[in-house]
């Protein structure tokens, strides 16, 4: 099933795909609401928004061997985690702002996991029952900032640096999904989630051993090889099989 958050007739609404539009729900299904209202919003009348507004965004570094190789760094012995602020989230079509503090902004296509139940000390076997669904994520990074201070969080924390969308797919198997990125129509990244060093289930187990995840929280599961620079005027397009394509233009932060 496909779920979306969108603007329709002057209000923000939630819905699930139905025919040529979205069946409007009475609340956020990620957080336990979402009964049908009987209304259908035609697809051509809606503007898709970020499909979820996470309280916590946990991101994973170096989770694909080919990306580890291109960085010249070693494989981490355990998942390498960092956090992105909720203020970084933007939806499909929204601009990513190239900050004045950076001269090297890069795209990172990722499978994003949307949590659907409060999760603490969840085993890998139990993990699928705590997932609401999956969407596309782009872990945009100011690479020169990251190199300057030696850690990822600040370089990935700029406003607009976490595009999510366009929708949430609830019935996917995350162990074999193609993930790709195109910049201005040219493919720069392509891999399959079967190549992740730590699976979605393993990440949920590792993360919830230390912290509680709540409905709506997001895990960015890592990026494959091919990360590269983008400039104002470029368009990034992240595609996850079964979800769709998340497109975002880059605009200059200089005013």
86: number of Cβ within 10 Å: 15
Which of 17-31, 56-70, 124-138 is predicted least confidently?
56-70
Integer angstrom CA distances of residue 230 from 43, 123, 222, 246: 30, 38, 19, 16
pLDDT band with cut points at 50, 70 and 90 for residue 255: very low
Please give the average per-residue pLDDT across 118-122, as a whole number. Answer: 98
Is there a single domain that holds both residue 147 and residue 92? yes
- pLDDT tens digits for range 51-63: 999 999 999 999 9
- pLDDT tens digits for range 165-192: 999 999 999 999 999 999 999 999 999 9
For residue 134, give the CATH number of its domain.
3.90.850.10
**Domain with 196 in it:** 57-252
Place of tokens 């795909």: 17
Whole-number Å distance between alpha carbons of 137 and 112? 5
Can you give the pLDDT at residue 11? 98
Q: How many domains does the chain have?
A: 2
Is there a single domain that holds both residue 24 and residue 68? no
Q: Considering the chain, what is the average pLDDT of its residues?
A: 96
pLDDT band with cut points at 50, 70 and 90 for residue 71: confident
Is there a single domain that holds both residue 168 and residue 84? yes
């Amino acid at each position: 099933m496909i779920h979306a958050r969108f603007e329709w007739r002057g209000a923000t609404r939630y819905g699930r795909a139905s025919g040529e539009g979205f069946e409007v729900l009475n609340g956020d299904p990620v957080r336990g609401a979402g009964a049908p209202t009987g209304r259908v919003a035609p697809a051509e009348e809606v503007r898709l928004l970020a499909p979820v507004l996470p309280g916590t965004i946990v991101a994973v570094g170096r989770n694909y061997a080919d990306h580890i190789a291109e960085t010249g760094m070693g494989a981490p012995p355990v998942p390498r985690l960092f956090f992105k602020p909720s203020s970084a989230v933007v939806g499909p079509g929204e601009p990513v702002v190239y900050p004045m503090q950076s001269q090297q902004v890069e795209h990172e296509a990722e499978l994003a996991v949307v949590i659907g139940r409060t999760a603490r000390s969840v085993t890998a076997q139990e993990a699928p029952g705590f997932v609401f669904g999956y969407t596309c994520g782009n872990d945009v990074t100011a690479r020169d900032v990251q190199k300057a201070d030696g850690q990822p969080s600040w370089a990935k924390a700029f406003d607009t640096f976490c595009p999510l969308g366009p929708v949430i797919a609830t019935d996917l198997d995350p162990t074999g999904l193609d993930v790709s990125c195109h910049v201005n129509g040219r493919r720069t990244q392509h891999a399959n989630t079967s190549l992740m060093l730590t699976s979605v289930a393993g990440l949920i187990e590792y993360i919830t051993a230390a912290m509680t995840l709540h409905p709506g929280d997001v895990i960015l599961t890592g990026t494959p090889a091919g990360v590269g620079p983008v400039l104002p005027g470029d368009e990034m397009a992240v595609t996850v099989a079964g979800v769709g394509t998340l497109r975002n233009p880059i605009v200059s932060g200089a005013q």
